[in-house]
A and B are shown apart, each in its own frame.
Chain A
């Protein structure tokens, strides 16, 4: 037992020393997860709301109320302008739609007549087009309920499950933290393991009278230690820059370590199997992206198709996103309790490290 602990410590220290001599690769491994975070956030920020011009030909009280309904619908980035400017912006491709409040708007409503609100849409991309098609009628309904409360007699009595609303960025950024840890873990541990084969030093490890399990455990610890920097950077951006504040700090620290252990173990297995750093890099990125998308990054997987939900539960990223959503927002995004999710992750880690040790033994001949 004492020898095994000595081996774990020695392998971990050696891996850290070796990694620090390859500064460029180590820097990339640390910075790349941060790059993932920024990339996904850009994706969210650029795709959230449709830039729309509103031409107010009638500035009466009903017109103003309608404009307010549009502004509070969370679907448009409203720019109030005149008709000519709106046309120019549309021609330049800078806005998706032009909504015109007609000159007869107030008068028609006061006399109980119907009003047609022209909506010009640049329908070159269906997702944005559908956003406009859905959002304008909703804004009209919202306006109508406020302007004529006596006539709208059906109201939604909302009962919130969560104590507060969570924005798309706040929700998604937590999932992105998980994919960043996944990429960092796969790259760091995978390259550490593969380097032993590339340089032939795997013989030094395999010929030693040390348990394979202790060797793999040492490698996991080293990669986790190296990944702490990367995880710190990503969490720092999420907490300090994006202002997404965790509701459960101790759990966040514990789950970060647990999730790093799991993903690093996965990277170790990958590196042991492919034995080449050139293969580890594309495989890490290629594995991380699809797994991220099927694991409930954008919302609970159970809200999707049953097949997808079943597939998602077979891999650790699903449980990692669940424990992080709990630590940040207190959410339960899987049918299981947070403790169960954490236990499943720990089991994944143990199984993966054991499989790595077996792979090291079975594929012993360098």
Chain B
């Protein structure tokens, strides 16, 4: 069975600028796959190529076995998109937006009304079906855009920053919808800059930087590659070189940074290190605060690429 997405040696150049450089990856059917990277990393270029909006300079992009260059209409009929800016007709009602989409995607006439009703119900917008979209909140627009993308029953759903600018409650609801899609056997490709979101949703992540694939793995494996946990300590004085060396020598410490009395120790492995770190630190300095957490996406990205994620 063909994978949902297969990119083979994909390159895209705009004049002297290389947006994608010999990129290959495979997304399996039924997978929720995350694309991560800062602006200019190549995420949008991949999506534009997959949806037929842009042609690759070299390489091949296949969606469910269809070559996007040879059969773009077949690929588009399998693809549902929720772009970041939602692309809804704000001057029209929710119902009119969905009816228009149904016509564009040739949804059978006898199923149109029932599908629209079911999806409006799913995204809890039934009571606002006749309201103009311009009167909707950001979260409502996202939900409507999701309903629209699902209307033609696509096999592959692309979500661009699906919860950007959405309140916490709506975010949770959207996550539930997205996880529900996986249960229905849909393949989901999403971009996000939130590790929490990637953790909650993605089976695998691909980290991109300047058109290159930097890493591709499960969220847990990526975190482990950087370190399982991060211990943040605030000291009353700057740590000495001897203390820093002693901390670096602890088994399991993978990274150590210091800045203005703040000390950040990244650790991996089974053994809990917090106790040993605190003992070493308090032998030399007074401790103001301590906290332990998972590494965030910025830190993983910085570790992998040497650059900040939101640059």
Contact = CB atoms under 8 A, between A and B. Distances in A.
Interface of A: 3, 6-7, 9-10, 14, 17-18, 21-22, 199-211, 364-366
B73, B85, B88, B91: most-surrounded residue (chain A CB, <10 A): B91
A17 B133 CA distance: 14
Given A22-B91, A203-B83, A203-B87, A364 B106 contact: no
A47 to B, nearest CB: 44
Given A17-B92, A201-B87, A10 B103 contact: yes
B125 interface: no
A209 B73 contact: yes
Given A203-B81, A207-B51, A209-B76, A6 B90 contact: no
Contact of B48 (A204, A211, A365): A365
Contacts of B100: 10, 14, 204
Nearest to A21: B91
B90, B91, B104: most-surrounded residue (chain A CB, <10 A): B104
Nearest to B81: A207
Nearest to A205: B104
B101 interface: yes
Contact of B92 (A14, A211, A366): A14
Given A18-B91, A207-B76, A209-B74, A365 B54 contact: yes
A357 to B, nearest CB: 14
Interface of B: 48, 51-54, 73-74, 76-77, 79, 81, 83, 85-92, 96, 99-101, 103-106
A364 B50 CA distance: 13
Contacts of B104: 7, 10, 204-205, 208-210
B106 A6 contact: yes
A206 B76 CA distance: 9
**Which 7 interchain pairs have the tightest Cβ spacing?**
A10-B103, A208-B104, A209-B77, A21-B91, A209-B76, A203-B87, A209-B73
B54 A364 contact: yes
Contacts of A18: 89, 91-92
Nearest to A2: B106
Contacts of B88: 201, 204
B201 to A, nearest CB: 22
6 contacts: A7-B104, A14-B100, A202-B87, A204-B88, A365-B48, A365-B54
B103 A6 contact: yes
A152 to B, nearest CB: 73
Nearest to B148: A204
B87 A204 contact: yes
Contact of B53 (A22, A204, A206): A206
Nearest to A211: B73
Nearest to A13: B100
A207 B76 CA distance: 6
A300 B101 CA distance: 49
Contacts of B51: 206-207
A18 B92 CA distance: 7
Nearest to A214: B104
Contacts of B99: 10
Nearest to B99: A10
Contacts of A22: 91
B53 A364 contact: yes
A3 B103 CA distance: 8
B211 to A, nearest CB: 16
Contacts of A10: 99-100, 103-104
Contacts of B76: 207-209
B91 A209 contact: no
Given A9-B103, A208-B105, A365-B48, A201 B53 contact: no
A366 B81 CA distance: 14
A10 to B, nearest CB: 3
A200 B103 contact: no
Nearest to B51: A207
Nearest to B91: A21
B53 A365 contact: yes
A209 B76 CA distance: 5
